[in-house]
Amino acid sequence: MKALHVVLPLLITFAVSGCSEQRNESNEELMAKIEKLEVEIEDMQQNLAALEQKTQLSFSVISSNPFLDNAFEDFVFASDEFWKNTVDVGVSECTKRCSADAKGRQATCNALPDGDEKIDCRNDSSNKAKTCNKQC
C-alpha cells in the first residue's frame, strides 16, 4: 500500500508532463480527427436507435399475433435479455448429445475389469468426447 502512495504520484507526474508537451499535430489536424470521431459517434447512435426500433417493431408484431396470449409471453418478449442475450440452441443440443454419448461409453468402460483395457477404454472415450465437443 505504501508503494502505491509512492508510485501513484509519479505516474500522475509523468502523465501531466506528457500531456503538457507540445505535439507535432496542428490544431486543424486535431479538429479534423475530432470531427471524424463525432461523425462515427453519430453513426453508432443511429445504428443503436435503428436496433431499438427494430426490437420494438418485432415485439409489436409478436404481441399483436401472440403465440400463447399470456402475461408470461409479454414479459419474455418485452425484456431486453430476450433480444440482447441470444443462445445458440444447436450448440447446446450438440453438447448434450456428446455428453450423453460419453456417459454411455463410460458405463461400458466401467463394466470392464480393471487393467489396461479399462484405461484404454476410458482414454478413448475421453478423446471421442473432446472431438465431439470440438465439432459442435
**pLDDT band, residue 1 (cuts 50/70/90):** very low
63 vs 73: which has the higher pLDDT: 73
> In terms of Cα–Cα distance, which of 96, 98, 102 is closest to 125?
102
| pLDDT single digits (tens) 2-34 | 554 555 565 566 655 555 445 556 888 889 999
Tracing cell 408484431 back to the chain, one arrives at: 61
- CA-only gyration radius of the chain, Å: 29
**Cα 136 from chain centroid?**
17
- Give the C-alpha separation, 110 to 127, whole Å: 16
What pTM does this model have? 0.36
- Across the range 118-131, mean pLDDT stands at 92
